[in-house]
Structures are given as C-alpha cells and as structure tokens.
Chains A and B, each alone.
Chain A
Amino acid sequence: MKVATGSGDGGRTSLFSGERVLKDDERLEASGDVDELNAVIGGLIAALPPEAASCAPELRTVQSDLFPIGAWLSADGSAPSAALLPPLDPEGTARLERAIGRMEAALPELRSFLLPGGCPAAAWAHLARTVCRRAERRLVRLGRGSPGEAPAWRREALRYLNRLSDYFFVLARTLNRVAGVEETPWRREA
C-alpha cells in the first residue's frame, strides 16, 4: 500500500462514502480525534513499566477497536461500501466494563479529585482519557446534525468511548499503584 499519493495536496480528501471534503470537515475532525487517541495509546503502551506489561495486549485490543469507529465516522450509512464495514460489537464495551471492575477492586476508594499525572505511563493514560473525551464530544456534535434516532454504529461508538475514558482513568490510578507512585489529590489551595 502506497502511503504518499499526493492526492490530498489540495486540502481535500475522500470520505469512505465517496464525498470529496475539505480536510477540516467535521467528520474528518472526529475521525482525526480517534486517530490521535490511537496514537496516544501507542505512547502509553511504550511507556508501560515492566510490572504493568500485562496491560499491553488489552490496550492493543482497544487500538484495534478504534479502527472501525474511525471508518464508520467517515462513511455514509446508505453507501453499499458501508454494508461491508464490521458492525461495532457491544462486547467491546462490555470488555471495558469488566476491566474497569477488575482494576477498581484493587484500588483504594476515591475521595477527591486527582491531579492528572504520576508515573509516565499513568500520565499517558490521563492524556488518552482526555483525547477520548474530545472524540466523544465530537461524535455527539456530529449527531446533532442528523435528525431522528442515531444509527446503531453511533450509539455503540458513544457507549464505547464513554466507557473507554473511564477505563483510562482507572488504568492511570492502577499504573500509579503498580509503580508505587502516590496519587496527588486536588486541593483548593496548592
């Protein structure tokens, strides 16, 4: 697959459903956020300490989950090509919920807001959480322009991204615990 074709040099690109759009089109902004999230997860995996290396397969599964979401964001559901896209599997959201429950069971109760940070991997997890929230907001904004019930893929993508940002929050706490780094609670006066 050739990467540099030069076909987007004029600032336009094709959506999956064929429309030629400017590269600041809101659907591209949304799929760009999902792409950015995926790249941040790559940074998180690279920053995992050896004692948390077991998180890597789960995070790679999340990276794979994000690809079809990006494709759906770029597709018009009426296009025949969209019928070839894999449906978003609710099992992905369920898997995140199980992981959140598993990690939370080993964490102390949360009693205040936390300052994002800690060990490098936890800092990456917080960054992933915030990019994930941005992708979620962008998806919500996209839905505003579409009257009627949201298509199944968008409903599932919203559930997934909502759960995924929670997952990153709990993962950040877990990574700090594993690394022996104390969490920093927010205080009104620093």
Chain B
Amino acid sequence: MAPGSLNAPAPPIAGRQTLRLLARRSLSPEVFELDLERPPGFRFLPGQRLRIREGGVERDYTIASGPGEGVLRILVRRVPGGSISPFLCEAPPGTAIAASGPHGYFVFAPAPRTPVFAATGVGIAPFRSMAASGVRGFVLFHGAGRAGGLFYREFLEPRAARYRGCLSRQAQPLPAGTRPGRVTDALREELAEGDYDFYLCGRGEMIAEALQVIDARFPRARVFTEPFS
C-alpha cells in the first residue's frame, strides 16, 4: 500500500513545457482521455496536476497516469463554450500544448488507517494515478450519473479492497458492484466504524456534503480534498 516512490523527496517544479498531444480517446460523449508526451526527466507524485495554458487562460488537469508510465494522461470534460476544453477535445494529434507542472498537494499519505477514495466524474483521475503507482487496499466510492461514467472501473476495481459505483441517474436494474444514489449516500450508509483517511476529488458541492458526513461519522479522520468547479 505504501510504495517507496511516494516517500521520495519533493520533485522539482518542471516549469513551462510544450507537450505534444499523442492521442485522444473518447470515454463518453463529453469526456476525453488525452495522452501527452512526457518530457524526459519530468517527475510528479500521483495526484498532482498539469496546468495547461491556451489563449491566455490556464486550467489544471490531474494526471491520471502513474509515475512509471511513459505518457502524461489527463481526463478532459468538454465544457461547451469553455476556454480550454473545446481546444483540447478537438486539437489533432501532434498539436503542441503549453503546460507547466507538476502542481498541487493532493498526494497519497501512507498510513495505518484505511484509505477511502471518493470521486465523481473526471475526479477519478488522481486515484487512477495512485493505483497505478502501487497503492492498494483502498475503498473506492466512485460516482457518476450512469454506468458509462465510471471511468477506469476495470483498472481500479481489481486493485481496491472494496469498490462501489454510485449511480445517480441509472435506470434499474443496476450493474453489479453499483448502488443508486451519490457517493455521499455511500459514505453515510456503507462505511463501517473505523479509522480512515479520506481522499475526496470532485465538484465542490460533493466535497462539502462529504465533509459534513465525515465530520459527523468519523470526527478523527484525516481528510484530503481536491475540489474542482
């Protein structure tokens, strides 16, 4: 559960880079997985972000690939009229993309307590990276509207001690391993008493609600959050 690479000294801030877009795959009608060239010597910790700059605007995207993988993979939700996502979702392979990084502090802290990951939508990216780096034994509450939005389920479920998809808009019957409702419902109803480290990545509203549940049920827990809008 505690790979040595996570205890490595702070990696250098790589500064500005120009990364070539290698490939793009559609994971759903709105979400794309992009593989970007990984510059030689670029190091990061699982959970850290790339900051992409286009047209004078910057947006952060958490790296979904592991530190041992040869590409930098990010998930992009296409926001109609957005400043950067339409560009990323349409740029042809080979496009040079201005980026800096790694940024952020949402990194895994090995501990004797059970890690509980809660993610919605593209918020699954840091947990994919953590699992790729060797983190195991985690509980994952994975939220999406429908089963098709449970990105990386095939990768994460075998590596989790317990996996639960939380589907808020899926018609019955539900696929195996899932439940109706949101990740906050699962946190409220499915987690036994215990000592946990919570890692929450998703929209601010989800994180605020999850924190209310955690404060009420697990007041001694550690909580690490990575909200996005």
Binding site for B on A (CB under 8 A): 1-2, 5-7, 9-10, 12, 14, 16-20, 79-81, 83-85
Measured between beta carbons, the chain B residues less than 8 angstroms from A83 are 8-10
A-B CB contact pairs (8 Å), 20 listed:
A2-B204, A2-B229, A5-B205, A7-B207, A7-B208, A9-B208, A9-B212, A10-B211, A14-B211, A18-B223, A20-B211, A20-B220, A20-B221, A20-B222, A80-B7, A80-B110, A81-B105, A81-B106, A81-B224, A84-B45
A1, A5, A7, A84: the one contacting B107 at CB < 8 Å is A84
Binding site for A on B (CB under 8 A): 6-10, 45, 105-110, 197, 204-205, 207-208, 211-212, 214-215, 219-225, 227, 229
Bound together, the chains give a CA A185 to CA B9 distance in angstroms of 52
Bound together, the chains give a CA A2 to CA B203 distance in angstroms of 10
**Cβ-defined contact, B109 with A81, below 8 A:** yes
Given contacts A80-B6, A80-B109, A84-B45, 14 further A-B contacts (CB under 8 A): A1-B229, A2-B229, A7-B211, A9-B212, A10-B211, A12-B215, A16-B105, A18-B109, A19-B222, A79-B109, A80-B107, A80-B110, A81-B105, A81-B106
Closest to B9 in A: A83
Bound together, the chains give a CA A40 to CA B120 distance in angstroms of 40
A5, A19, A20, A79: the one contacting B207 at CB < 8 Å is A5
**Cβ-defined contact, B7 with A20, below 8 A:** no
**Cβ-defined contact, A80 with B215, below 8 A:** no
Which 4 residue pairs of A and B lie closest in terms of their CB atoms, listed nearest first? A18-B222, A7-B208, A81-B105, A5-B204
* Chain B nearest CB, measured from A31 CB (Å): 15
Measured between beta carbons, the chain B residues less than 8 angstroms from A14 are 211, 223-225
Measured between beta carbons, the chain B residues less than 8 angstroms from A85 are 10, 105
